[in-house]
Amino acid sequence: MKFLKNKIIMITGGTGSFGQMCTKFLLKENIKKLIIYSRDELKQFEMSNKFNSPKLRFFLGDVRDRHRLELATKEVDIIIHAAALKQVPAAEYNPIESIKTNIYGAENIISASIENNVKKVIALSTDKAANPVNLYGATKLCSDKLFINANYLSGGTDTKFSVVRYGNVVGSRGSVLPYFKSLIKKNVKSLPVTDERMTRFWIQLDHGVKFVLGSINLMVGGELFIPKSPSIRIVDLVKALDKNMKYHIIGIRPGEKLHEILCPEDSARDTLEFKNYYLIKPSPYHHDSKKSDSNYVINKNKEKGKFVKSNFVYSSSTNSDFLSVNELKKHI
């Protein structure tokens, strides 16, 4: 990826599943330096032993700490903001902590980036931020709005902010797949399913990383990128893991949805469809003339997007692409 040449990149929350896979990709590129910014010294130590690269640097810090972020982002060209408190039940019972990390943390990233003239900032979001019904989704929706509207705050600097929103990442920490696998290893006779009607978007971790890096290349600032992803039925996942496995219904957890949405209908008027992704462009304020639709309709690869219908919704339940049980087996 030519746009990464000689760049200094920082990943917040870089010791997590996404950060580790992203590090694997970035160290293969001709970058100048990669900074991992996170709170966990043990994970940083383990990660340094795992990758053992002279291009890799570790910075202990919390996104809640603006001063620490200002120090960490000096001379940084690109920030990938992956740090978050993301467990839905935990957020429901610890709302203030989630707000501090997911919202105030986003504000701190924005301030530090503008202060140090970081060129590009891309924030990772979630399907739970679209029409949120739980606190985690609400904090991430607020975070998305902060990053998108930060383009109006950057003033005379060159800092650009964009967001990537995708669904459940296969095998990431805290997701259902490793949980089910751990139960199967314990020889359980039945797996707990919240509701047999439940569907989810499904994306491989490496695909998510590639999409984020590609979005950094394409971004002009203010847009929200959404990859086209297949959906799964939770009961099909059980069958894919073990065709003889039974399941029992435990009921939907606090803050959980039956189906997830990536593009809500209210955003349809600003949504463009490209071959492999959707793009929600920012709604311009009446006084803003710096960017027109043309900035977003044709991307840097000269691909032209098409506006979706006014009633368009990209939902895991109505998705045209569902993985079968046999297809799921290939992914797990």
Active site (catalytic) residues? 128
The backbone region for 171, taken as left when phi is positive above 0, alpha when psi lies in -120 to 50, beta otherwise, is left
Range 141-149 contact pairs with CB under 8 angstroms and sequence separation of 24 or more: 142/102, 142/103, 142/106, 143/102, 143/103, 143/105, 143/106, 144/224, 146/103, 146/106, 146/107, 146/110, 147/81, 147/106, 147/110, 147/121, 147/123, 148/222, 148/223, 148/224, 148/282, 149/282
The DSSP call for residue 101 is I
In whole angstroms, how far apart are CA 252 and each of 93, 167, 190, 216, 259? Answer: 16, 18, 17, 36, 11
Give the whole-angstrom CA distance, residue 225 versus residue 10: 20
Give the whole-angstrom CA distance, residue 80 versus residue 71: 16
Taking residue 179's Cβ as centre, other Cβ atoms within 10 Å add up to: 12
